[in-house]
Structure 1
Amino acid sequence: MGKEFEIVREYEVAATPAQVWDAVTTGSGAWLWPMEFEPRLGGVVAGIGVITAWDPPHRLTSRAEDPNGLQGRPQTLNQVDHLIEPREGGRAAWVRYVHSGIFTDNWDDQYDGAGRHTDFYLHTLRQYLLHFTGLPAVHSDVQGPEASTKRGSFAEVGRALGVGGATVGDTVRVDLPGTGPVDAVLDYSDGHFLGLRTGDAMYRFFGRDAWGAPVGLALHRFATDAASSQEQARQAWQSWLDGLYA
């Protein structure tokens, strides 16, 4: 038996509504993952659903439903709505984000995981708008081995990076696989997720072991040579994750 859910977040960001709209709809993987938007009412968002509201740069809604489950997930309805409004002067935007739908299994875990992921993703969006606005990204997704699904595994990531004693906002010296030692800002850390930001990249670490899935990470790289070194970077981080849980 399915049960409805709704996750609502509101936030202000120092970006124009057009910049927020572009960040959400460009789909290069600058803050989330790469996706293609068919820019019209009734258009398709690859892997997400059908666009049911398209009013640039103010309203965007997508919806997907399948009684048999969405892409193998215990979810039969998924809707994501962005309402974007200008603040006075137009130099900032207020955003109301609503994620709703129906979960069919393990409702409490699904809801908890979705809410925590929402907070991390929207934080990454704001980081992008503050530090990399308008820049295309090269996105890579890396998943840890089966051993990383064990609850509590995510703590190894912070220890391996050497950021265990740092607090959000601190600049830390980290040795990044495939890159070497760099200074990075610890921009997010809540025990389940961890975010590092350098001058040309954002590194997002996901403790999905809390919900029975592998620890993973996403690379959002903005350097001019990011595309040519994408596979090298992905392999370096894959080896790092695999070695962490060997």
Structure 2
Amino acid sequence: MSQEFEIVREFEVDAPPEKVWEAVTTGTGGYLWPMDPPEPREGGKGPFGSTVTAWDPPHRYTNRSENVGMPTQSVNELGYTIESRDEGRRAWVRYVHSGIFTDDWNNQYDGASKHTNFYLHTLREYLTHFAPRPVTFAQLQGPAASRTPRALAAVGRALGLADDTAAGTKVTVQGPGGRTLDAVLDYRNPYFVGLRTDHALIRFFGRGHWGAPLGISIHDFAPDADAEANESAWQAWLNEVFSRA
């Protein structure tokens, strides 16, 4: 049965409002994924077939999609309100994700809510450590064997993370091709793991909790970054993890 939903988050970040505005409207893939930027006007075309319903730089941006084309959702709306703090040195952000789920409401809401926390954390990491550096984006997903709530724990073991390693810890992890990566474990809970290196944000999505394969995204800010090479290397690594699982 169709039912409306609303997910609201508020946070402050060490970045001026203009920098936050650029991050959420240019669609570079610095913290989310590459997408077409919205037409800079109310009523303009937004990403993924949406319509811009509010456009007030650098304070308010909203887009809305109807007839989304997803089997479990018919309406989707994303909104950002951005205010200046500390004489423009910081920003306060209110993010609202709303719409209508048409089926499996509890599972869809749980997944969207938990993903929202992770995406907005990644936005803050991007703004604090990398913006506005150009990004090379890659994403991939695991095999069918990763479609389980236990998948993220298997990935943690393959990376070499101890079960009690907490977010904020500096770590050395085992990456593709036997390479070691020095990183900060910037996010960790039973659903997601985030690693921040000197030149990349590497995100692991334990989507088996919602019946989907585990996913990885790589936001690479190195000048010589290669999306295909990143995707190929991490796909081989992930396939190997679950060939042993």
TM-score range, shorter chain: over 0.9
Corresponding residue SS for 1:44: coil
- Contact residue 187 and residue 193 of structure 2 kept, 8 A: yes
Corresponding residue SS for 1:147: helix
Structure 1's unaligned 5+ residue stretches are none
Counterpart of 2:234, as a letter, is: W
- Contact residue 177 and residue 233 of structure 1 kept, 8 A: no
Query: Which whole-Å CA distance do the structure 2 matches of 1:233 and 1:179 have between them?
Result: 14
- Corresponding residue to 2:235 among 190, 214, 238: 238
Query: Which whole-Å CA distance do the structure 2 matches of 1:16 and 1:153 have between them?
Result: 38
Query: Which whole-Å CA distance do the structure 2 matches of 1:215 and 1:207 have between them?
Result: 5
Counterpart of 1:30, as a letter, is: G
Indicate whether 1:120 and 2:118 are aligned. yes
Count, aligned residues: 241
CA-CA distance at 1:73 after TM superposition: 3.6
Matches within 5 A, 1:113-152: 113-152=111-150
Query: Which whole-Å CA distance do the structure 1 matches of 2:71 and 2:141 have between them?
Result: 18
Corresponding residue SS for 1:167: coil
Which position in structure 1 is the counterpart of 2:50? 49
Q: 1:178 to 1:94 in 2, by over 3 A?
A: farther
CA-CA distance at 1:43 after TM superposition: 1.9
Which position in structure 2 is the counterpart of 1:171? 170
- Corresponding residue to 2:87 among 86, 89, 104: 89
Matches within 5 A, 1:162-241: 162-164=160-162, 165-177=164-176, 180-226=179-225, 229-241=226-238
Counterpart of 1:210, as a letter, is: H
Q: Normalising to structure 1: TM-score of the pair?
A: 0.95
Query: Which whole-Å CA distance do the structure 1 matches of 2:155 and 2:26 have between them?
Result: 30
CA-CA distance at 1:179 after TM superposition: 8.2
Counterpart of 2:60, as a letter, is: R
Which position in structure 2 is the counterpart of 1:106? 104
CA-CA distance at 1:220 after TM superposition: 0.2
Q: 1:71 to 1:40 in 2, by over 3 A?
A: same
- Contact residue 52 and residue 62 of structure 1 kept, 8 A: yes
Which position in structure 2 is the counterpart of 1:155? 153
Query: Which whole-Å CA distance do the structure 2 matches of 1:30 and 1:71 have between them?
Result: 26
Corresponding residue SS for 1:209: helix
Q: 1:85 to 1:150 in 2, by over 3 A?
A: same
Corresponding residue SS for 1:191: coil
Corresponding residue SS for 1:245: helix
Q: 1:35 to 1:179 in 2, by over 3 A?
A: farther
Counterpart of 1:132, as a letter, is: F
Q: Normalising to structure 2: TM-score of the pair?
A: 0.95
CA-CA distance at 1:147 after TM superposition: 1.3
CA-CA distance at 1:180 after TM superposition: 1.9
Which position in structure 1 is the counterpart of 2:76? 78
Larger mean Cα displacement after TM superposition, 164-173 or 111-120: 164-173
Structure 2's unaligned 5+ residue stretches are none
CA-CA distance at 1:48 after TM superposition: 5.5
Quote the RMSD (CA, aligned, Å): 1.3
Runs of 4 or more off by more than 3 Å in structure 1? none
Query: Which whole-Å CA distance do the structure 2 matches of 1:171 and 1:214 have between them?
Result: 27
